[in-house]
Homo-oligomer: A and B are copies of this chain.
Amino acid sequence: MTDAIALTIHARDGAARTGALLTPRGDIRTPAFMPVGTAATVKAMRPEDVRATGADIVLSNTYHLMLAPGAERIARLGGLHRFMNWPRPILTDSGGFQVMSLAKLRKINGNGVIFQSHIDGSRHELTPERSMEIQRLLGADIQMQMDECVKLPCPPEEAERAMRLSLRWAERSKAAFGDDQPGRALFGIVQGGVERTLRIESARALVGMDFHGYAIGGLAVGEPQADMLATIEAVIPHLPDTKPRYLMGVGTPDDLLQSLRRGVDMFDCVMPTRAGRHGMVFTRAGRLNLRNARFADDSRPVDPLSTSAMARDYSRAYFRHLVKAGEILAMMALTEINLAYYQDLMAGARSAIGEGRLDAYIEETRRGWAEGEAEET
């Protein structure tokens, strides 16, 4: 496989590294957080404002886009970048995870998954070949193999079955991705639940197939943080140092710091955007629930050190009023503040790695959460 999308590492600090993933659509500074733009929009954000928070890449969901407005339609309209007016890199998932979590009457077999749309009940089939075809039609810069992600906890035999199926789908995904997509990348996904031996077997087999990058899937699905971190520690040594490592669907700010410290380069999570739509805001002083009555007369800004003007130029009392009144501006503002917080966190980590002081940065950051008005719930 050609390394159309290449990782360059600028500095290391322990197992952590910082650098950039170079793509024809722009560089992705790593460690990177990718905001989730499920239905071709990062909810409640204009793309230029997503960019202004510091995002180099966004993620979009194959499952949602295949159902509406349809991959062929987006292709006719010039591809996903043009459709959503985001000229920078886009990563798409395979659709498999959301078929299993959102669709109705899903039935998995060796070939793929047959399911009914959660929107209108229409019948669809997703196979590794169709998933890759959709991602190609969308024009995604980073495409993901189709895999099966089991819920945790699960019996080892079930984790093993899904891992082996995912390996077969990895081969089929790679064949379908082909060698005619210059400047685009395909990532394999390590599965195996929290079984160390399964995870290592999965990683080795995928590396043998030679992907442009490697994801760790199936984590942050209900297991304790310690299990997640142990799994990351088990897998990382078996992944090539020169390729990007992507931890899928993770997580809290602390999850991100603990994981990048162990060598993860890329993250995505709905947490900052979803929390922002529900009155929760991430700050240097921990997470605040702006529905709380104690903010009703609080004239202080949400986070005076934020890079987002929304966090500096309005009072907590104002946002509390907007949240209680169900105003759209609350969702817009808190989403932006949260995305800026996640990007600021990554920027801080990149600097700290460059200066060889990542552990001190993590310690300072955690102290801020603890000393502030954290109300982690």
List chain A positions with a Cβ less than 8 A from chain B.
39-41, 43-46, 68-69, 73, 76-78, 83-85, 296-297, 299, 310, 313-315, 317-318, 320-322, 324-325, 327-329, 331-333
Contacts and interface: CB of A to CB of B under 8 A. Distances in A.
27 contacts: A39-B322, A39-B327, A40-B321, A40-B322, A41-B327, A43-B328, A43-B329, A44-B328, A44-B329, A44-B332, A46-B310, A46-B329, A68-B321, A68-B324, A68-B325, A69-B317, A69-B321, A69-B324, A73-B296, A73-B297, A77-B317, A77-B318, A83-B318, A85-B313, A85-B314, A85-B318, A328-B331
Nearest to A39: B325
Contact of A46 (B315, B320, B324, B332): B332
A310 B85 CA distance: 10
A68 B321 CA distance: 7
Contacts of A69: 296, 317, 320-321, 324
Given A46-B332, A329-B46, A40 B77 contact: no
Nearest to A326: B39
Given A69-B296, A73-B296, A78-B299, A40 B85 contact: no
B44 A317 contact: no
Given A299-B77, A315-B77, A329 B45 contact: yes
A329 B41 contact: yes
Nearest to A322: B41
Copies held by the complex: 2
A54 B333 CA distance: 22
A29 to B, nearest CB: 25
A76 B328 contact: no
Contacts of A84: 318
A328 B318 contact: no
A331 B329 CA distance: 11
Contacts of A322: 39-41
Contacts of A68: 321, 324-325
Contacts of A325: 39, 68
Nearest to A65: B321
Nearest to A277: B328
Contacts of A327: 39, 41, 43
B46 A317 contact: no
A313 to B, nearest CB: 5
Contacts of A78: 299
A73 B310 CA distance: 21
Given A39-B321, A40-B322, A77-B297, 15 more contacts: A40-B318, A41-B322, A43-B329, A44-B328, A46-B332, A68-B321, A68-B325, A69-B317, A77-B299, A78-B299, A83-B315, A83-B317, A83-B318, A85-B313, A328-B331
A321 to B, nearest CB: 4
